[in-house]
Structure 1
Amino acid sequence: MATKHKLLTDISLKGLEIAPSQIRGAVRIVPLLRREVRGDLRLVRRGYNEDITIVSLEGKTAEAGMKYYSYVPHGLVISWSEDGNPIATFGGQMLKPDGKRLDCGCASVRLMHRMAKRESKNQLRFLPLHLAMEGFLSLFFSGPDIAWSEYSKYALSHGLGSRSEMSFSGHYIAGLEDALRVFEIHPRQVGVLVFVAETLASAFVVPTPEDYRALHTSLLEDFYGELIYEYSLMFDTPFPMDLSVNESKINSLADLRSAIAKMRFDWASFQGFMAEGLLQRQLRSQIVYTAGPFVLQRFITNLLPKEENHIGEAIVRENGELEYLKTYRLSAAQTRRVYLLSQLDLYNWNLDATAKALGNTREEFVLRLETSGFGYLMNQQVRDAARKKAKK
């Protein structure tokens, strides 16, 4: 259970209810309803119109001049109260200009400082999903701490160097735009679980129903993994999953109410089971900012190479209730890359020890690193020896 000063260890839907899903093509959207809306935390979208955004990173990476490059369509601004009282509705608040815009002729560029930046005493701007992705890219970024002879001069001097990952805008997920357009929004709805061909693509939660209505279509501006994009093209319908009421047991309105309540409970439980790859997983988390009684964190699920894995960010209040959540499902290739790096880090970047732990020969492990795009970390003699061994 997360509290103000504790790291998030798992994703709990405490304070939320899972409503029956709505289906359009291969897209299944499961509404999440909040039992009690307090109003002491609010979110608003801040749109950007540039072709690319460059974010200067804080901490040790900033000292080395490290920056994050991506297309960033919008940021989110959170505002909160310290005493639990509702805060002013957005639209009546002053919002500061964000970053600096440059026109480079062929493209427009926005320069920004920090993934999460405090703008006033009770206001914070952050870049949704990019906050999580930057944390993912920086995992094990420094490379080997020991000058092992197998590594290249570049790896020993610069670590992983420049890392990049590819993703797809929600506009390219077949059927998602249409689904968001036609689906009903419940009065107490504050979020959704988005499935594509019964695969969890994203989870999204905000503090209030008003915030959700304003941010409903922002799911199209999020980015999604290669698997989700491919599934949206391959499948045009989800699996049939129907629940019904046994008419033979209905003898009164009370019986009908009871049967419908049980059906909804069973349906919610099953939809929660469909998302167990996120909801039932241990997390590796990092606190980004403490905002009064709320904590902004980013996380990655414990890595299981043959299972689904997610990164994301969350805001949790002191009692463990989830106020904000946004997730991204890693592709198999992304999982494989960070898993190999995690194992290298676990064994102090010793190639032989890591290969043995993974059940590989030294040469097999070197080839796995090559295939995953990390061949440049090793010197040419090690790479050549592995290729020569593989040809025999």
Structure 2
Amino acid sequence: MATLDLTGLTALPAQVWGAVRLVPLVRHRPITGLRLHTRLYGDDPAVVTLPKDAAYNAYIPHGFVATWSDSPEASFGTDLTSPTATAPASTCRLRFHRRMARREDRDRLRFLPLHLAMEGYLALHFNGPTVLWEEWSQRAIRRGLSPRAEQAYAGAQVEGLADALKLFEIHPDQCGVVLYVADALAAAFVVPHPDDYRALHATLLLDMYGELVHHYALLAAPVPAFTARLDDTHVRTLDDLRAAANRQSTEWAAFHATTMAGGLLDASYDIRRVHRAGRFTLSRFLPGFRPKEENHIGEIITDQRGRTAYLKTFRLSESQIRRGHLLNTLASHDWHLPTAAQSLGTTVHAFGLRLNQAGFGHLLNEHVLAGYRARARAAAKSSQANPAKFS
């Protein structure tokens, strides 16, 4: 387990539009040798072939292509889909991709942003029970958790995000942004060079966001802007004014790192390497699935010194956190329901019903699940017949 390190990136004062708050991240020394550009795929449904005859089906409007070398380079633009490739209106084309991350040349790697991270979440303990306990169904034993599905929203569906991206200022050294919706951290996006950020700024509308972010943007009231207040009693010269402004900038950056982004930066992650690209490493990460807390999945590219060149995150909803927590609990106890329930301080029938509510009821034998429901009803009737009294 490790934490995310954003050393070298500085948070500048936020910009606000309605419920959307964007915090620019700048680098005074860009990371050289790595460049990113986007490749647009259009609105066709996509299938990604994975190892062991698995497949990932999703709406994938774009991908990223990373190129690397030993000398600085500029990003080389955007590849648009061919207009001649448009399918007739009465048909639905299906786009196929080989792997989430695939090397296309000696110094070029194509990967699917956020879908790389989501696949890691969906593959969590995907093979199902490791021991054939009697509670598990034949489907769970033969197919594991297949199929698993999660719902997300495109950035264009997040209320106010398109206007915010269009109106907000891009700073000269900006290499990233932290996106908040109703002051809940929704996503972080980091690239190695300011040229990359200017080219990829609008791709935030093509990214996917969880239901929490979508609902907050739709229902939340506008958030207040943070304004700096200088103590003019100590300002006598331009140097005094400059020093006071610099102190405010330093305090804002520290406040953002420790308070606003603390849920992302203070957490520990299980980071798994996906691909090595020269002196850079592409990895994806999963959180500890802490219930009632902020949890993010994502992907990251680091250089040989461990510096973050690229980062993209996705905030999980409470139901997604719950599913990850239940699966981790089962796996850590060899999928033995009684010991897993005991570790959570609950009864086996209550734990079984929690699995059912989380969408994993099909993994249990039907007669076992029916027995859990019957025990829950009996316990509820017993509590009604014997109410607690206090006098």
Q: Same fold (TM over 0.5)?
A: yes
Normalising by structure 1, we get a TM-score of 0.92
Alignment of 1:299-314 (within 5 A): 299-314=285-300
Q: How far, CA to CA, are the matches of 1:78 and 1:263 in structure 2?
A: 36
Cα shift at 1:345: 0.2
Give a deviation string over 1:123-153, Cα, whole Å, max 9, x none: 0000000000001000110111111111000
RMSD: 1.9
Report the counterpart of residue 73 of structure 1 in structure 2.
61
CA contact (8 A) 2:41 2:81 kept: no
Distance change (3 Å), C-alpha of 1:89 and 1:132: closer
Cα shift at 1:51: 2.2
Q: How far, CA to CA, are the matches of 2:132 and 2:330 in structure 1?
A: 14
The reply to whether residue 15 of structure 1 matches residue 8 of structure 2 is yes
Report the counterpart of residue 282 of structure 2 in structure 1.
296
Alignment of 1:177-188 (within 5 A): 177-188=162-173
CA contact (8 A) 1:315 1:322 kept: yes
Q: Percent identity?
A: 44
Which of 262, 272, 275 is residue 286 of structure 1 equivalent to? 272
Alignment of 1:213-292 (within 5 A): 213-239=198-224, 241-272=226-257, 273-292=259-278
Report the counterpart of residue 127 of structure 1 in structure 2.
112
Report the counterpart of residue 317 of structure 1 in structure 2.
303
Report the counterpart of residue 20 of structure 2 in structure 1.
27
Q: How far, CA to CA, are the matches of 1:87 and 1:131 in structure 2?
A: 25
Q: How far, CA to CA, are the matches of 2:202 and 2:325 in structure 1?
A: 33
Report the counterpart of residue 160 of structure 2 in structure 1.
175
Q: How far, CA to CA, are the matches of 2:162 and 2:327 in structure 1?
A: 36
Normalising by structure 2, we get a TM-score of 0.92
Q: How far, CA to CA, are the matches of 1:379 and 1:196 in structure 2?
A: 41
Distance change (3 Å), C-alpha of 1:38 and 1:152: closer
Q: How far, CA to CA, are the matches of 1:288 and 1:102 in structure 2?
A: 33
Distance change (3 Å), C-alpha of 1:104 and 1:56: farther
Q: How far, CA to CA, are the matches of 2:216 and 2:300 in structure 1?
A: 26
Give a deviation string over 1:340-374, Cα, whole Å, max 9, x none: 00000000000000000001101000000010000
Partner SS state of residue 78, structure 1:
strand
Cα shift at 1:175: 0.8
Counterpart residue identity of residue 107, structure 2: N
Partner SS state of residue 32, structure 1:
strand
Partner SS state of residue 47, structure 2:
strand
Which of 103, 120, 133 is residue 118 of structure 1 equivalent to? 103
Q: How far, CA to CA, are the matches of 1:95 and 1:291 in structure 2?
A: 24
Partner SS state of residue 298, structure 2:
strand
Counterpart residue identity of residue 386, structure 1: Y
CA contact (8 A) 1:50 1:109 kept: no
Report the counterpart of residue 370 of structure 2 in structure 1.
384
Cα shift at 1:164: 0.2
Q: Which moved more, 1:233-242 or 1:152-161?
A: 233-242
CA contact (8 A) 1:53 1:70 kept: yes
Q: How far, CA to CA, are the matches of 2:172 and 2:340 in structure 1?
A: 53
Q: How far, CA to CA, are the matches of 2:366 and 2:31 in structure 1?
A: 60
Which of 19, 40, 47 is residue 54 of structure 1 equivalent to? 47
Cα shift at 1:171: 0.9
Cα shift at 1:233: 1.3
Distance change (3 Å), C-alpha of 1:68 and 1:101: farther
CA contact (8 A) 1:347 1:354 kept: yes
Q: How far, CA to CA, are the matches of 2:351 and 2:38 in structure 1?
A: 45
Larger Rg: 2
Distance change (3 Å), C-alpha of 1:135 and 1:103: farther
Report the counterpart of residue 344 of structure 1 in structure 2.
330
Which of 177, 180, 197 is residue 195 of structure 1 equivalent to? 180
Partner SS state of residue 135, structure 2:
coil
Report the counterpart of residue 4 of structure 1 in structure 2.
none
Cα shift at 1:104: 9.7
Q: How far, CA to CA, are the matches of 2:372 and 2:225 in structure 1?
A: 49
Cα shift at 1:95: 11
Gap runs ≥5 in structure 2:
379-391
Partner SS state of residue 218, structure 1:
helix
Give a deviation string over 1:263-316, Cα, whole Å, max 9, x none: 011111112220111111111111001111111000012221110100000001
Q: How far, CA to CA, are the matches of 1:375 and 1:274 in structure 2?
A: 37
Counterpart residue identity of residue 200, structure 1: L
Q: How far, CA to CA, are the matches of 2:342 and 2:88 in structure 1?
A: 52
Cα shift at 1:96: 12
Report the counterpart of residue 39 of structure 1 in structure 2.
32
Report the counterpart of residue 145 of structure 2 in structure 1.
160
Cα shift at 1:54: 0.3
Counterpart residue identity of residue 60, structure 2: V
Q: How far, CA to CA, are the matches of 1:106 and 1:172 in structure 2?
A: 25
Q: How far, CA to CA, are the matches of 2:364 and 2:88 in structure 1?
A: 39
Q: How far, CA to CA, are the matches of 2:268 and 2:88 in structure 1?
A: 44
Give a deviation string over 1:143-195, Cα, whole Å, max 9, x none: 11111111000001111110000011111111111000000000000110000
